[in-house]
Structure 1
Amino acid sequence: VDYMEKYYTDFIPNFSTAKSPMMMQGAITKTYYADQVKKAAKDIYSVAIMPCTAKKYEIGRDEHMKASGVNDVDCVLTTRELAKMIKEAGIDFNELADEKVDSPIGQYSGAGTVFASTGGVMEAALRTAYYLITKEDLKGDAVNFKAVRGLKGDKEAEIDIKGTKIKIAVAHTPSNVEQVMEAVRAAKKAGKPSPWQFIEV
């Protein structure tokens, strides 16, 4: 978001209004979950484990990150930082006893399991939209990403929902975002439709 606000302000009206999955989970933890366990939001310390250092900036970005009046997420550790902490503590996962997965908020959807991978948020949204429209699950291989022609590191796919073809793209890293956004901007300048209707950055 910060990158887009600096370099592609003309596309801000096209932003999704949804928070990131991390911030959604934080907001749910400090509101719904807090009610379930009869705790005040301020008494819950929420830690997110994320691969991207930009998530550290995101948690303090603005007042929209405080659904309960306090920070939705209190701290972000990168996966690298967590791995270092585990190593320094001398924890060997092979030596730990098996435990059942806790489920503090209930069941999760299959679409939710793909969030963490590149393109996962988009795929989850598409699978959900497909189901809501068709009442059928999207087949596992229906979203078949391929490299965007002429754009290194970007991927695209096309999905058909009841005859409506939706073109999607995934841009990973700032240089790839620039390539995709410049392609969209060039199409707009030429009076042509955008090459994609849905872009995940």
Structure 2
Amino acid sequence: MKVSAQLDAFQKRLGHRFSDVRHLLQAVTHPSMASPHRDDNQRLEFLGDRVLGLTIAEALLRADPAAAEGLLAPRYNALVRRETCAEVARSIDLGEVMKLGRSEMKSGGRRKDALLADAMEAVIAAVYMDGGFDAARDTVLRLWSDRITNVAEDARDPKSALQEWAQARGEAPPVYTEVARSGPDHQPDFTIEARLQSGQTARATARAKRQAEQAAAAALLEKVSQ
């Protein structure tokens, strides 16, 4: 099968040359572009999530043989969460080769965390299908290397940390409310307010609700910790 220059360049950035490029083509095909003759990446995403999880879990155990499960779990979650997968996808310009339907293209799909993260997991699975587990593990370790090395010792995400802070003081979990939305419909900015039962609040704005919630949680956690 003839490979486009775009896909050829992507394989170099990925660090894996496919024996059967059809695996890669499926991995970069969003469901909005699926057809009877073109499979989308959802099944590969399912597999890639598991390959990524096993690889990261193994890497963390090797990196810190003395760490307890209570420390390993938040580090693991930080490394496999959607935002991290999307960051890795951006680092190799995965969005550039994603095949999207017109509606997803118009809504900025190449920049969306959810789409990038799903495609990244699918690409990991495609490498696994093409070259086996060793090839997939090598790819993950290469792309995640700096993140594995630099993951915080206590890598709880801000929302989890804030909820634990509240529960330790007998408070209900924080409440997150969208208080504003601005920008174009295809790329809005969300402003989220995090509020504790005690009445303390903090706000943050981001391109995705989840990111805004995490940022608001981080700001509120900093405020109450002072």
The question of a shared fold, defined as TM-score above 0.5 by the shorter chain, is answered with no
Under a length normalisation based on structure 2, what TM-score does the superposition of the two structures give? 0.28
Under a length normalisation based on structure 1, what TM-score does the superposition of the two structures give? 0.31
Greater RCO (Cα-Cα under 8 Å, separation 6 or more): 2
**Which structure's residues are more often helix, by fraction?**
2
